[in-house]
């Protein structure tokens, strides 16, 4: 085999498989290395879909798609972009959760960059080992809080790999500009520490100064090696996620998707929910079940949104209640964490969700608890006593962690609830109507923001960008879609929605003087020219 042919066949970015034309085969020395038939992209997609269909379960489909990405990158992205409703749940939530749990057992070709404690003092050299020279989006995790599944150590690599695949499929950020990273500081997962196939450091998780020093070295290395890169912190535990964001948000171009992306998708849902109800954010009372970084991130952005609509900060905060594992976050709650302090309220400690609903009388119930089936019939019916059409958002994922299902929320409210969840649920029939549940997944937000940041080379990422993304996304849902239960654009339109949102966010970046490139005359045309196209 000619050297050039070998390099092409084993480079997933160049390989087209059976789609190489006869002329290309002759020119590149590929003649005879494929059967004679020249397939078009639709034929290849049909073959891949057929191979997927005979796999026994979604985990096997995940493995198949992962191997396809390693073999023919453009075909992989053609599948995702052409049918996101079918393939996104395999590539990302909910299947990625199981893939991370079994990562050490299903790992084929390693993906991503692994930065461990053993690399201290030479992290810059490790970052330089990444084969791409112009990285723009870095998604990094330490694997401590993977979805609702806990500490998965380096097996959490499936999260940044999956996130970045969606940066490309949904947002159009070129795959060569993306770098998935795991910071390996050990794991406290006892099962992994005794598993001979666990591929990471076999030691208890490092914390404190040792952890901070490694992250600092990594951030500085990225800044030097890839100075135009944006760092996305992903699936860090609350105790590290919030301090990391505070430490770096004003120093480097970075954000935390669990905090800011989750906040943006939730606020977008609230904007759309208010459209469906004909009212405003300030007309509601909000109860968050779960008071981690996701909840306080949503609450913070919600307060900013209400203030932007004319509320005072005090009036906005007065409409927001949080509930942690001890009960309502009030002054006598013994489990208050530092990030919850801005939302501590007056009142008595109420320990159960049902009692909290009866006390607070929320019109909006948001779940970020990872406690499945906690939005019970009694809880939802208690909201119905004073609110005919409650907004119910069980955002915890994967699906197994959802606080309730779409079928439950709608059957208990006679189809009246405004509903969205973090994971996908099927359509639901009630009273002769077909209701379609929206998926309040960050994938509507972070690829759009990422595309805007990539195109503008933004020097910072701000909360205002996420608020702009929320408002822009909410405006993309049509009145007809709202009438059948959707509060986000249909998943089939997610790529186009992301590009449109990116245009609005990019305009804001230019307006705020955060872009490191010259403002184009036509921002929309310019953004669209930056979008990666997986066609051959």
Neighbouring CB atoms inside 10 A of 58's CB total 16
Q: CB within 8 A of 53, min separation 6: which ones?
A: none
Together in a domain, 137 and 81 = no
**DSSP state letters, 22-70:** HHHHHHHT-TTSS-S----HHHHHHHHHHHHHTSSSHHHHHHHHHHHHH
Give backbone dihedrals phi and psi of 88, rounded to 5 degrees, phi first.
-60, -40
pLDDT, residue 238, reads 87
Give the model's confidence band at 275: pLDDT under 50 very low, under 70 low, under 90 confident, else very high: very high
What mean pLDDT is reported for the chain?
A: 96
Together in a domain, 34 and 63 = yes
Together in a domain, 196 and 242 = yes
How do residues 125-155 score in pLDDT, each as one tens digit?
Answer: 999 999 999 999 999 999 999 988 899 999 9
Residue 123, in any domain of the structure: yes
Together in a domain, 40 and 146 = no
Helix, strand, coil percent values for the chain (each to nearest 5): 50, 10, 40
pLDDT, residue 423, reads 83
The dihedral built from the CA positions of residue 531, 294, 400 and 380, taken in this order, carries a sign that is: negative
- Give the residue from 56, 154, 146, 143 showing the smallest Cα distance to 96: 146
Query: Tokens 């970020």 — which residue?
Result: 368
Task: Tell me the average pLDDT across 327-347.
Answer: 94
pLDDT, residue 295, reads 95
Together in a domain, 127 and 239 = yes
Share of the chain above pLDDT 90, in %: 95
Length of the chain: 536
Residue 72, in any domain of the structure: yes
From 252, 283, 301, the end of a domain falls on: 252
CB 360 within 8 A of CB 328: yes
- Region class of 449: left (phi > 0), else alpha (psi between -120 and 50), else beta: alpha
- What's 246's domain CATH number? 3.40.50.10380
Together in a domain, 244 and 127 = yes
pLDDT, residue 310, reads 96
From 75, 91, 107, the end of a domain falls on: 91
pLDDT value at 76 more than 90: yes
**DSSP state letters, 130-197:** SS-S---EEEEE-SSS-TTS---GGGGGHHHHHHHHHIIIII---GGGEEEEEEE-----HHHHT-TT
Residue 448, in any domain of the structure: no
How do residues 451-506 score in pLDDT, each as one tens digit?
Answer: 999 999 999 999 999 999 999 999 999 999 999 999 999 999 999 999 999 999 99
Count of domains forming the chain: 2
pLDDT value at 204 more than 90: yes
Task: Tell me the average pLDDT across 438-443.
Answer: 92
Residue 27, in any domain of the structure: yes
- CA quadruple 7, 9, 10, 13: dihedral, nearest 10: 90
Give the model's confidence band at 397: pLDDT under 50 very low, under 70 low, under 90 confident, else very high: confident
Least confident of 333-337, 395-399, 513-517: 395-399
CB 456 within 8 A of CB 515: yes
- 418-421 and 438-439 strand pairing: parallel
Residue 413, in any domain of the structure: no
In three-state secondary structure terms, 527 is helix
Together in a domain, 242 and 99 = yes
How do residues 173-190 score in pLDDT, each as one tens digit?
Answer: 999 999 999 999 999 999
Together in a domain, 37 and 114 = no
How far apart are alpha carbons 225 and 475 in whole angstroms? 38
pLDDT value at 1 more than 80: no
pLDDT, residue 505, reads 98
What's the token pair of residue 388? 């005919």
Together in a domain, 102 and 59 = no
pLDDT value at 327 more than 80: yes
Q: Which of 430-468 are b and which e, b meaning 16 or more Cβ less than 10 Å from the residue's Cβ? A: eeeeebbbbbbbbbbbbbbbbbbbbbbbbbbbbbbbbbb
Residues known to be catalytic: 92, 163
pLDDT, residue 103, reads 95
Residue 392, in any domain of the structure: no
- Region class of 347: left (phi > 0), else alpha (psi between -120 and 50), else beta: left
Together in a domain, 56 and 148 = no
Least confident of 49-58, 90-99, 496-505: 90-99
Together in a domain, 103 and 246 = yes
- What's 15's domain CATH number? 1.20.1370.30
Q: CB within 8 A of 14, min separation 6: which ones?
A: 7, 8
Residue 167, in any domain of the structure: yes
Together in a domain, 113 and 196 = yes
CB 370 within 8 A of CB 396: yes
Task: Tell me the average pLDDT across 10-33.
Answer: 95
Least confident of 85-89, 207-211, 302-306, 351-355: 85-89
- CA quadruple 129, 133, 135, 139: dihedral, nearest 10: -10
Give backbone dihedrals phi and psi of 232, rounded to 5 degrees, phi first.
-105, 115
Which domain range does residue 28 map to?
A: 3-91
Residue 257, in any domain of the structure: no
- 428-430 and 433-435 strand pairing: antiparallel
Give the model's confidence band at 172: pLDDT under 50 very low, under 70 low, under 90 confident, else very high: very high
From 187, 218, 252, the end of a domain falls on: 252
For 370-427, give the secondary structure using H, E and C: CCCCCCCHHHHHHHHCCCCCCEEEECCCCHHHCCCCHHHHHHHCCCCCEEEECCCCCC
Q: CB within 8 A of 27, min separation 6: which ones?
A: none
Note the Cα 59 to chain centre separation in Å: 19
Task: Tell me the average pLDDT across 23-51.
Answer: 96
- Give the residue from 215, 125, 239, 131 showing the smallest Cα distance to 177: 131
């Amino acid at each position: 085999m000619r050297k050039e042919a070998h390099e092409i066949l084993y480079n997933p970015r160049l390989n087209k498989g059976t789609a190489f034309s006869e002329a290309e085969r002759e020119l590149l020395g590929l003649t005879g290395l494929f059967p004679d038939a020249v397939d078009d992209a639709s034929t290849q997609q049909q073959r891949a879909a057929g191979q997927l269909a005979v796999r026994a379960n979604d985990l096997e489909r995940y493995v198949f798609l992962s191997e396809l990405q390693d073999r023919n990158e453009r075909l992989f992205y053609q599948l995702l972009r052409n049918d996101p409703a079918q393939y996104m749940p395999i590539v990302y939530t909910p299947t990625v959760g199981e893939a991370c749990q079994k990562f050490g057992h299903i790992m084929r070709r390693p993906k991503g960059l692994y930065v461990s404690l053993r690399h201290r003092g030479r992290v810059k050299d490790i970052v330089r080992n990444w084969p791409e020279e112009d990285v723009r989006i870095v998604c990094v995790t330490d694997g401590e809080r993977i979805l609702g599944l806990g500490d998965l150590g380096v097996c959490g690599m499936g999260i940044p790999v999956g996130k970045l695949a969606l940066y490309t499929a949904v947002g159009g950020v070129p795959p060569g500009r993306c770098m998935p990273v795991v910071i390996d500081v050990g794991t406290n997962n006892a099962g992994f520490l005794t598993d001979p196939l666990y591929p990471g450091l076999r030691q208890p998780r490092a914390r404190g100064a040792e952890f901070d020093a490694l992250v600092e070295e990594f951030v500085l290395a990225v800044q030097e090696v890839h100075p135009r890169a944006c760092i996305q912190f992903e699936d860090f535990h609350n105790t590290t996620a919030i301090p990391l964001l505070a430490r770096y948000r004003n120093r480097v171009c970075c954000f935390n998707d669990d905090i800011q992306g989750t906040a943006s998708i939730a606020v977008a849902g609230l904007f759309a929910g208010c459209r469906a109800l004909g009212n405003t954010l300030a007309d509601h009372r909000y109860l968050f079940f779960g008071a981690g970084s996701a909840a306080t991130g949503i609450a913070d952005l919600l307060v900013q949104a209400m203030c932007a609509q004319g509320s005072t900060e005090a009036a906005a905060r007065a409409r927001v209640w949080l509930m942690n594992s001890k009960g309502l976050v009030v002054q006598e709650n013994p489990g208050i964490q530092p990030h919850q302090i801005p939302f501590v309220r007056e009142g008595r400690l109420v320990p159960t969700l049902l009692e909290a609903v009866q006390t607070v009388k929320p019109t909006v119930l948001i779940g970020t608890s990872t406690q499945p089936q906690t939005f019970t019939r009694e809880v939802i019916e208690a909201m119905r006593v004073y609110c005919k059409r409650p907004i119910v958002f069980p955002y915890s994922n994967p699906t197994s962690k959802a606080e309730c299902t779409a079928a439950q929320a709608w059957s208990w409210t006679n189809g009246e609830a405004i509903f969205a969840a973090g994971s996908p649920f099927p359509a639901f029939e009630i009273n002769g109507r077909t209701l379609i549940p929206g998926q309040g997944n960050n994938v509507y937000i972070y690829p759009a923001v990422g595309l805007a940041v990539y195109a503008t080379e933004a020097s910072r990422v701000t909360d205002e960008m996420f608020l702009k993304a929320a408002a822009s996304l909410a405006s993309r849902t049509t009145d007809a879609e709202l009438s059948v239960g959707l509060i986000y654009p249909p998943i089939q339109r997610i790529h186009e929605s992301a590009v449109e949102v990116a245009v609005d966010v990019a305009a804001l970046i230019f307006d705020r003087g955060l872009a490191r490139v010259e403002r184009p005359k036509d921002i929309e045309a310019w953004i669209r020219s930056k979008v990666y196209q997986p066609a051959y």
